[in-house]
């Protein structure tokens, strides 16, 4: 029966043994998190973390999948293990990556068509412009894409001198709710309503007859 030599101290181990120990340690460090760790990470998210996640979720939201749905789906996939959270990766950054992946997959699978919504003018009748219809011909899709870009650029360019107003307009285009916009922009209800009136007046001034393509 062969004898197995066990070093009395770590320093006396062979180079091979030390390498093997290092490999195991590296694998453990780089391995996936378990469900308990993920649940703990979720419960440990700060208000700032949630705010960042909600803001990012709006970037990946689409007409058929709200920002809330995108974030909830990312968390669900992390908990069920269909998306692995590696050790050494920040949890918030990991969730952002999952949301990005979800948005890309859903877009390709369902050919989602986001909607660009302009803020209603004082006279009412805000405009809604769909992104190119996937069933339309190439020429029609190109025309629709160009119109969406023109509208978005034209409206946002009106508020280059006011970042809060610009963010509010862009958030409205992304279909954020009033409550979400107030929270993201740090506005109380009075300041929010005042800024909305300012935005509507400026849009009415530059586009008195509505958007003309």
Pair 123, 41 in one domain: no
Pair 121, 100 in one domain: no
Residue by residue, pLDDT tens for the chain (213 residues) are 444 333 333 334 444 343 444 443 443 444 567 888 999 999 999 988 898 888 878 877 766 678 889 999 999 999 998 898 988 889 998 998 898 888 777 666 654 444 444 455 444 444 444 444 555 566 766 666 677 677 778 888 899 899 888 888 877 877 777 887 887 778 899 999 999 999 999 988 888 766 555
Pair 94, 128 in one domain: no
φ, ψ for residue 65 (rounded to 5)?
-150, 105
pTM: 0.42
Question: Which of 110, 127, 159 is the last residue before a domain boundary?
Answer: 110
pLDDT at residue 107 in the model: 60
pLDDT at residue 123 in the model: 42
29 assigned to some structural domain: no
Pair 152, 92 in one domain: no
**Residue 91 lies in domain:** 35-110
Q: Count of domains in the chain? A: 2
pLDDT at residue 154 in the model: 85
Pair 53, 100 in one domain: yes
5 assigned to some structural domain: no
**How many other C-beta atoms can be found within 10 angstroms of the C-beta atom of residue 104?**
11
Pair 46, 120 in one domain: no
Nearest-angstrom CA–CA distance, 48 and 53: 9
Pair 106, 148 in one domain: no
Pair 133, 97 in one domain: no
18 assigned to some structural domain: no
Pair 185, 142 in one domain: yes
């Amino acid at each position: 029966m062969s004898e197995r030599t066990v070093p009395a101290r770590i320093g006396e181990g062979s180079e091979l043994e030390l390498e093997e120990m290092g490999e195991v340690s590296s694998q453990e460090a780089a391995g996936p998190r378990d469900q308990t760790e993920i649940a703990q990470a979720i419960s440990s998210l700060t208000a700032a973390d949630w705010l960042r996640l909600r803001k990012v979720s709006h970037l990946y939201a689409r007409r058929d999948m709200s920002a809330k749905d995108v974030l909830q789906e990312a968390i669900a996939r992390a908990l069920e293990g269909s998306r692995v959270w590696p050790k050494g990766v920040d949890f918030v950054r990991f969730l952002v990556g999952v949301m990005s992946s979800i948005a890309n997959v859903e877009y390709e699978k369902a050919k989602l068509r986001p909607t660009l919504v302009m803020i209603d003018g004082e006279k009412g009748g805000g405009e809604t412009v769909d992104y190119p219809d996937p069933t339309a011909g190439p020429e029609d899709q190109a025309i629709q894409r160009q119109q969406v870009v023109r509208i978005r650029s034209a409206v946002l360019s009106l508020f280059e001198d006011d970042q809060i107003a610009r963010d509010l307009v862009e958030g409205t285009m992304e279909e954020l709710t009033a409550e979400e916009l107030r929270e993201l922009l740090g506005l109380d209800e009075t300041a929010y309503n005042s800024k909305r009136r300012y935005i509507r007046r400026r849009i009415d001034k530059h586009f008195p007859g509505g958007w003309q393509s």
